[in-house]
Chain A
Amino acid sequence: MNAVAHILNPYLPQRAEVVERVEEGRDIFTLRLRLCDETARAAYRFQPGQFNMLYLIGAGEVAISIVSDPDNPELIDHTIRAVGRVTQGLQQLKAGDALGLRGPFGRGWPLEAARGRGLLLITGGLGCAPTTSMIHYALQRRAQYGPLTVCHGVKHPDDLIYTDRIQTWCGAPDTQVLLTADKGTPEWRGRVGLVTQTLDDVEPELFKGVAMMCGPEPMMRAVAESLLQRGMALNDIYLSLERNMHCAVGHCGHCMFGGKFICKDGPVFSYAEVRTLLAVKGF
């Protein structure tokens, strides 16, 4: 009689545990998680650009993108900045601690549309996290994608994270990493200036490829408009948006952006889908 009882409850987290915790920078850390239930762990798959809802007992849930390698879905990495109450709480977790996880949710990066083409990844601040999984994915399948250039901007050189990973990427075939800081220091060996300025140093051929962006919305707008001017097609520019999702399944309304739910229609959108509304302040 009760058909509802058989429906999977999309609100209910699974138990997960912290396998490892890595300090990435000031108030930035990576939690490597594993689902505790073997069946759930075996069934778990994700696409680069998707996110999980992490639940800290007593504090609540928060949407965090997955930064690890989709070829190894049993270990799920999340890079987190402690800014809100839940992330501050997550910061206190250590290896072996339990938390809740549900996901993955959302539409990730356009793996198929980008296949065979050059990849231009432009990120600002912690925006580098959601693209990391994409970089791993492409480097694992190096032959399937064209040249890869990562442009990453930080406010201050101290904000740079993932330095080991970046080293590895620099050594990968046909791969380039351009780093920039808004303000330099004597030790800083990258560029000084906004991430939009690094586009001047990008091989023009990449503007015929696919761009993927993540970072503050004004930065992404500026970069996207600059890419359009450089001849890139509207539909070849993708960006990952962020909102304070509560449900992650299109029910709670917190992530609405015009007619889109960022949680289920995104978080990755083509610039064509969101260009008009991104220009409207306070929408």
Chain B
Amino acid sequence: MAQKLRIAVHKFASCDGCQMQFLNLEQDLLTLARQVEIVHFAEATSVMQQGPYDVSFVEGSISTSTDLQRIQQVRAASRMLITIGACATAGGLQALRNWKDHGEFVRAIYARPEYIDSLAQSTPVSAHVKVDAELWGCPIDQQQLKRVLSDVLARITPRIPGESVCMECKRAGNVCVLVTKGEPCLGPVTRTGCGALCPRYERDCYGCFGPQEDGNARALGRRFQALGLSADEIVRRFRFINGWAPAMRAGAQAWEKQKPIIENMD
């Protein structure tokens, strides 16, 4: 048996839901514990060892100047870096601020804004350091996480599917909510991995797994318009949990009146 892998789970700006998916692996954690040493995992243990790490899982977006420094340290200490979730992979819901005047928010909410260390934009980890693999989702999917873990244990590059939700949806035998009900489903431009969870319950997909590898969000926006959505509603469909992901931004762009305050952070 090869030496145990040193694994770290780091948290940045996030809700901890993706870290919880680790903890929810339950009995698989015991198997995992025989093969890896978890040396840093804020949500699970008070033990916080320094690097180097064989694999670092990173949750959360880069949102403060401290984050900016820390992500460089994490990268330098990690042989492999894998982002987990929408925040780390696309900037998260908190990237909605990227379209607004961040200073105005801070001034409006905090009595002493000068104490607030917060960047004008919330950005994905990949905007700052090299990322080896990206696990999408809000939160990430446990089956995908397990597959990535078994790849990591086998010391091979994880394979994360990039096809549309529709393919998973059709395989599962779900009926299309867009075609039968005219629901503004984001499934065609969204990445697989969730098990087509919402359409299975006859709900439209809201894109929590981020953009599929090469979809066509502009064309889907035009379809939404034909279904009766207003330009503002179309923008809101695309500008959500993964709104800062380039493909979702492109989907919204044709319909949006308001451009991001600061362009081109990535």
Contact = CB atoms under 8 A, between A and B. Distances in A.
A87 to B, nearest CB: 9
B134 to A, nearest CB: 15
Contacts of A92: 155
Interface residues of B, number: 8
B150 A58 contact: yes
A88 B157 contact: yes
A89 interface: yes
Contacts, number: 21
A56 B258 CA distance: 51
Contacts of A59: 151, 154, 156
Contacts of A86: 156
Contacts of B159: 85
Contacts of B151: 58-59, 85
Nearest to A89: B156
B155 A89 contact: yes
A86 B151 CA distance: 10
B249 to A, nearest CB: 26
Contacts of B158: 85
A85 B157 contact: yes
A84 B157 CA distance: 8
A88 B157 CA distance: 8
Interface string A56-67: 001100000000
Interface string A71-111: 00000000000001110110010000000000000000000
A99 to B, nearest CB: 13
Interface centre among B151, B156, B159 (most CB of A within 10 A): B156
Nearest to A84: B157
A59 B152 CA distance: 11
Nearest to B155: A92
Contacts of B154: 58-59, 89
A92 B154 CA distance: 10
Nearest to B157: A85
A58 B150 CA distance: 8
Interface in B155-173: 155-159
Contacts of B155: 88-89, 92
Interface in B139-188: 150-151, 154-159
A160 to B, nearest CB: 27
A22 B52 CA distance: 31
Interface in A232-273: none
A71 to B, nearest CB: 35
Nearest to B154: A58
A85 B147 CA distance: 13
A108 B150 CA distance: 36
Contacts of A84: 157
A58 B151 CA distance: 8
A89 B151 CA distance: 10
Nearest to A87: B156
21 contacts: A58-B150, A58-B151, A58-B154, A58-B156, A59-B151, A59-B154, A59-B156, A84-B157, A85-B151, A85-B156, A85-B157, A85-B158, A85-B159, A86-B156, A88-B155, A88-B156, A88-B157, A89-B154, A89-B155, A89-B156, A92-B155
Interface of B: 150-151, 154-159
Question: Which 4 residue pairs spanning A and B have beta carbons closest together?
Answer: A89-B156, A85-B157, A85-B156, A58-B154
